Structure 1
Amino acid sequence: MADLKFELRTLTQIWTGGVEGKTDKLHLTGIKGSLRWWYEVLIRGLGYYACD
């Protein structure tokens, strides 16, 4: 499988944080969770099935 690189630009602030809820740095798990949430919204909005 080939590696993919993405360059993203935010339109608003990104609010992710560590265990204590402080925004100390961007965490990969927070970005993945946000992308997953928006992907699911998009898929369901188009009328397709997205697993729970």
Structure 2
Amino acid sequence: MPATNLHEFLIPSDQAARLSGPNSRIVMSSRVRLARNLKGFAFPGWAK
């Protein structure tokens, strides 16, 4: 697969559903995981 600019994949999901072509079957997913307490903001809410 040729090198592709990441920004080409960052389109709204409703537009992505209508895509066609060699990259139309590529799915990208990401998530953020908060695993530490921030000063003044305990995480999760019940943490002391």
TM-score by length of 2: 0.19
Of structures 1 and 2, the one with the larger relative CO (CA 8 A, separation 6+) is 2
Larger radius of gyration: 2
**TM-score, with length taken from structure 1:** 0.19
